[in-house]
Structure 1
Amino acid sequence: MSVFLVTRGKTFMRRIVIAMIMALALPMAMATPANAGGLDDLFAKLLVKQVKGSNVKKHLDALQAIATANGGTRAAGTPGYDASRDYVAGKLRKAGYKVTLQPTNFVESWTENSPPTLNLTAPSAKTYAPNEDFFTFQPSPAGDVTAQVQGVDLTLPPTPTPTSTSGCEAADFAGFVAGRIALIQRGTCAFAQKIRNAGVAGASGIIVFNEGQPGRTDAFPLDIGEWRAGVPMVFADFAVGNELAATAGATVRLKVDATLVLGTNDNVIAESRFGDPRNVVMTGAHLDSVPAGPGINDNGSGTAAILEVAEEMALYPVKHKLRFAFWASEEIGLLGSDQYVASLSQAQRDRIKVYLNFDMVASPNYAYKLYDGDDSDAEGSPPGPPGSAQIEQQLQAFYGTRNLPTVGTDFDGRSDYGPFIAVGIPSGGIFTGAEGIKTAEEAALFGGTAGVAYDVCYHQACDTIANINATALDVDADAIADSMARYAFNLSSIPPRTAAAAKRAATTAHAVESVS
């Protein structure tokens, strides 16, 4: 018998023994009050012991080998991504999960064939200068439409407001007449969010214009990675938008001549065989890298950590359904997670009781940052949906058991929690830092070097297997295991979700403007 078969047999038998112990303990533990050291506490301690940093490292070694064999990258649309997908899916199937590959789209190529057109045709005529007064919003679909313009929740002078929220909420389009061209103002939320809302409202074309604030008065070309409204779209300077808004009954011709080619990548979604499907505990990490490098910290670290947790939890007779997601195309606009959430019915969204996101959990100059679910610092982005504060507290409690400090980090819209908090799903997670600079206060708390980026190889070719902090990787993998095990058996700390709470969450989500 080979060494492989012996090792595999021992691992399998160990999991069978664990499953038998858990099955015997289940009736007794279920009768124990949650606050008296119940099933969640028992299995959290067991899982943390099972999850090993050395096993997480083996997954990272495999992802590095995949990148090395595929031109040094695992980016969306590359063979390196497909091999990463197959590796993760294979491990999950072998562990016993029900695995689904969900196709998602991304922009494979976009070419502008000729300059765009934006002409006022009524009540008077005026031609705006392409690539001066306005630019094509990349990657706009082609289209040629003449229709009346309708402003969407605009904030125009002399109203004294620091920024616009135009188009950030579906409610902004109440009364919008389908078939008109949406005139939307820049500000507050991601451009992509405004575009998607306009598409849902039935806009035949989209004009986004600047706010008129200092430093934001010139139009410029932008690639927002968003095409799903399916209509031509341009970005204009403030003078153009203000003029169209002030012209009663303004009708324009909007034309974009471009060739848009879409590619397909797969999300990997794995579900436990056990657990109540009405109560889903979900965790996710993005699987793709940037084209420039192998993406071992960003985000092989999150991928490998939750993959190890999934393997060790495979035979747990959990009370709540577990769902592990490995997202495609995060680096080009959160496309995998966004299309996943968009594909869910409201009932399916309601079944997801918590979403935990792990993106970069082993930065070389790390800090233990937890998403600020309650906005305790009262700065930057608003809090997450109700329940997010409790997720943050649960993670804090784990680090506290090891006498490790943590600091908060904003829900700034830069990772795959974004689509979840936008629909009111309680979210949280761990982040060890990217291109930001470590402060002196953080160096005093966590060690490392103040005045240096948390990850000097962020989005670069040097984000290799040598770009990992083993201590952070091991500790964070344990923290993931602890929270997943606890929520797998006990969701009592998460408040019931209401329609009103979900609506409030949606109105405050994506508070930082981003092209992605």
Structure 2
Amino acid sequence: MRRIPSRSTRRSALAILAVAAAVLVGTGPVAGAAPERSAETLTDTLVRKVSVDRINRHLVAFQRFADRAGGTRAAHTDGFRDSLDYVAGKLREAGFLVETPEFTFDRRVTDAASVVAGGTTVEPFPIIHGMNTPAGGVTGRLVHVPVDANPGCDAADYAGLDITGGIALIKRGGCTFTQKQAVAAGAGAVAAVIYNQLEGPPRGILAGGPAASRIPTGLVTMADGAALAALAGTTTTVDLRTHIVPTVSRNLIAQTRTGRTDNVVLAGAQLDSEDDVPGINDNATGSSALLEVALKLGASPKVSNAVRFAFWGATWTQFGSSAYLNSLDAQARLDIAMYLHFDILGSPNAGHFVYDGDDSDRVAPGPRPAGCARIEKTFVDFYAASGIPTEGTNYDGNTDHPGFAAAGIPVGGIYGGAFTYKTAAQAAKWGGQAGAAFDPNHQTPRDNLDNVNLDVLDRNGDAIAHAVGSFATSTEGIDGVSPRAAQPMAQEVAPAR
């Protein structure tokens, strides 16, 4: 097949011909004239046009939607529905092909959540996919598992402990929740309480799903864990009961009208919040930046590849992105050149993390399709050009990356940090406070407009613009597909495939 020269190649060829013609007729450039400036690329234009002021206007809108809904934009609330309508309206007005496909997710409703030890009562988070206790809970002696580098991760951690029929109190870290509760069950515990090793919300999921649940398991804060540890040996009752309510939510999928539809750049962000929180840094920042990049790109840009923007609903357990992936046939999945994810971009004590596509960190489990390393390098190089160092971060199971990677789609993106602590080395690199969380208000009601570092969000918005503009122009370094002239989409072609 004959390769069609790119627009820039044709422009360069014409320029050479024009100079040659000028020399032949004796009308060359005037001596001393200023050299002609090179044309601004799509990527440069997009970075220049994306403004943190406009991103912040979207944040203000999301805050108002949360306020009207009682302080939340969770997927089953009016706060989320208003958020989705706002984004859809903006993108439709700009001319994008927009769909808001429905899906049903399992929304957990908590019926009971308490740990009572003597006269002390704490409220745990019932781990997602964990089994329930009987009504009234289970009772046993509270046993604090010794703390080491991998607390409660091995059967040897229970050697010499009288844990049969007891409640295991385990520090978080060193292995998965799934492994901790399974080892505790194997040692004879009837329930497990896992406490945070850092300040932050006690939330989590059993990665293996309900089948991996061996005993009822609750998660508590670091402070509550310390209080319970002081009560080790006390008769304790753990009551953890939830039920599932099938709930309808929506994703929002918007696509450009130009570019190849068989080599689509997919960029996404979580649109909803956790229950009972406004979710402005997590993750209205990602959605707002992505929305502004889409609006500045426009619905009919001169690109080689179509760009598809996804705003996910019900994302705590990846229901939204999973529903989307499951809706695609094999060919539609092959048509996606990559998935870029943007999460928590304005943390008050932020870092600049790039998802580890080349496995240089040696910490991220799971597949890395070919192309992930090149996506990582695109972000790293962009920040480096501005003198900003970056660090790798693993593909967290609580984000939307793993599903796409498992489907063979190259993945990448950026992240600003949440409840883990900034080290002294990181503070030296990025500024901010060592020994404090990147976002001390993560998943709390204080995650509001006041919780956003606009300077960091500005840089991250530019990084998104750079990546989207670059890959819309060419994915040759990702999947070997050479750029070609933009091709208009047929109007009858739906964008959600």
**Smaller-chain TM-score bracket:** 0.5 to 0.7
Question: Per the alignment, in what secondary structure is the counterpart of residue 101 of structure 2?
Answer: strand
Question: Displacement, 1:217?
Answer: 6.0
SS at match of 2:433: coil
1:472 aligns with 2:456: yes
Identify the residue that residue 316 of structure 1 maps to in structure 2.
301
2:258 paired residue number = 274
1:70: Cα distance to partner? 1.3
For 1:235, the equivalent position in structure 2 comes to: 213
Return the offset for 1:104.
1.8
Contact persistence 2:367–2:406 (CA under 8 A): no
Aligned to 2:50: 51
Q: What secondary structure is seen at the aligned counterpart in 1 of 2:58?
A: helix
Match of 1:439 in 2: 423
TM-fit CA distance, 1:400: 1.5
Task: Say whether the 8 Å CA contact 2:177–2:205 is kept in structure 1.
Answer: no
Q: How does 1:292-311 map to 2 (within 5 A)?
A: 292-311=276-295
Other-structure match for 1:427: 411
Q: Alpha-carbon deviations, 1:359-381, whole Å to 9, x = none? A: 10110000000001111122343
In structure 2, the CA distance between the partners of 1:493 and 1:218, relative to structure 1 (3 Å rule), is farther
SS in structure 2 opposite 1:466? Answer: helix
Q: Between Structure 1 and Structure 2, whose CA radius of gyration is higher?
A: 2
Alignment of 1:142-221 (within 5 A): 212=183, 218=189, 220=191
Question: Could you tell me which of 319, 327, 339 is aligned with 1:335?
Answer: 319
**RMSD in angstroms over aligned alpha carbons?**
3.7
Distance, in Å, in 2 between the alignment partners of 1:425 and 1:40 is 33
Q: In the superposition, relative to structure 1, how do residues 425 and 136 fare at CA in structure 2: closer, same or farther (>3 Å)?
A: closer
Q: Secondary structure at the match of 2:425?
A: helix
Match of 2:76 in 1: 77
In structure 2, the partner of 1:418 is 402
Deviates more, 1:409-418 or 1:80-89: 409-418
Give 2:64's aligned residue.
65
Q: Partners of 1:320 and 1:423 in 2: how far apart?
A: 20
Q: Secondary structure at the match of 1:317?
A: coil
| Structure 1 equivalent of residue 474 of structure 2 | 490
Q: Distance in 2 between matches of 1:428 and 1:350?
A: 17
**Aligned partners of 2:177 and 2:354: how far apart in 1?**
22
Question: Is this contact kept in 2: 1:210–1:216, CA < 8 A?
Answer: no
Asked if the contact 2:272/2:313 (under 8 Å) is kept, the reply is yes
- The alpha carbon displacement at 1:108 in A equals 3.6
2:8 corresponds to 1:28: yes
**Residue type of the alignment partner of 2:403:** P
**Alpha-carbon distance in 2 for matches of 1:357, 1:30:** 34
Q: Secondary structure at the match of 2:420?
A: coil
Quote the residue 2:92 is aligned against: 93
Q: C-alpha distance in 1, partners of 2:295/2:188?
A: 52
SS at match of 1:461: coil
| Percent identity of equivalent pairs | 37
* Aligned match of 1:103: 102
Q: Which residue of structure 2 aligns with residue 182 of structure 1?
A: none
Which secondary structure state, in structure 1, belongs to the residue aligned with residue 418 of structure 2?
A: coil
2:131, 2:213 within 8 Å by CA — same for their partners in 1? no
Q: 5+ unaligned residues in a row in structure 2: which ranges?
A: 14-37, 113-126, 133-152, 155-173, 194-202, 216-240, 482-497
Cα distance between partner residues in 1 of 2:392 and 2:205: 29
Gaps of 5+ in 1: 1-24, 34-38, 114-134, 141-161, 164-186, 192-207, 238-256, 498-516
* CA-CA distance at 1:423 after TM superposition: 1.1
Judged with a 3 Å threshold, the aligned counterparts in structure 2 of structure 1 residues 209 and 442 are, in CA distance, closer, same or farther, namely closer
Shift in alpha-carbon separation, 1:67–1:211, aligned structure 2, 3 A? closer
C-alpha contact 2:105 2:246 (8 A) present in aligned 1? yes
Match of 1:325 among 302, 310, 333: 310
1:450 maps to what in 2? 434
> In 1, are the aligned partners of 2:366 and 2:402 still within 8 Å (CA)?
no
Q: Quote how far apart the aligned CAs of 1:420 are.
A: 0.7
SS in 1 for 2:440: coil
Check whether the contact 2:181–2:192 (CA below 8 A) recurs between aligned residues. no
Tell me: CA distance 1:403–1:326, structure 2 relative to 1, closer, same or farther (3 Å): same
Choose 39-48 or 481-490, whichever is displaced more: 39-48
Query: For 1:418-462, what per-residue CA distance to the aligned partner results, in whole angstroms no more than 9, with x for missing partners?
Result: 211121111110101000000101000000000000001000000
Following superposition of structure 1 onto structure 2, how do residues 240-389 of structure 1 map, counting pairs within 5 Å?
A: 260-314=244-298, 315-331=300-316, 333-381=317-365, 384-389=368-373
Q: Quick one: distance in 1 between partners of 2:75 and 2:242? A: 22
AA partner of residue 236 (structure 1)? R
Change in 2 beyond 3 A, CA 1:261/1:326: same
Partners of 2:376 and 2:8 in 1: how far apart? 29
Deviation at 1:292, TM superposition (A): 2.5
Residue 213 of structure 2 aligns to a residue whose secondary structure is strand
CA contact (8 A) 1:360 1:432 kept: yes
Please give the secondary structure, in 2, of the residue aligned with 1:386: coil
Quote the Cα distance in structure 1 between the aligned partners of 2:276 and 2:211.
29
- Cα deviation, residue 495, structure 1: 3.5
Would the aligned equivalents of 2:255 and 2:307 in 1 still touch at CA under 8 Å? yes
Contact 1:368-1:431 at 8 Å conserved across structures: yes
Q: Is the 8 A contact 1:372 1:384 kept in 2?
A: no
Cα pair 1:383 1:411 within 8 Å, conserved: no
Q: CA separation of 1:68/1:110 partners in 2, compared to 1, >3 Å: closer, same or farther?
A: closer
- Structure 2 counterpart of 1:513: none
> 1:444 is paired with a residue of what secondary structure?
helix
2:381 pairs with one of 373, 389, 397? 397
1:375–1:382 contact (8 Å) kept in structure 2: no
Structure 2: distance between partners of 1:40 and 1:188: 52
Whole-Å Cα distance in 2 between the matches of residues 457 and 395 of structure 1?
Answer: 26
Count of paired positions: 367
The amino acid that maps onto 1:416 is D
In 2, Cα distance between the equivalents of 1:461 and 1:365?
18
Contact 1:40 1:489 in 2 (8 A): no
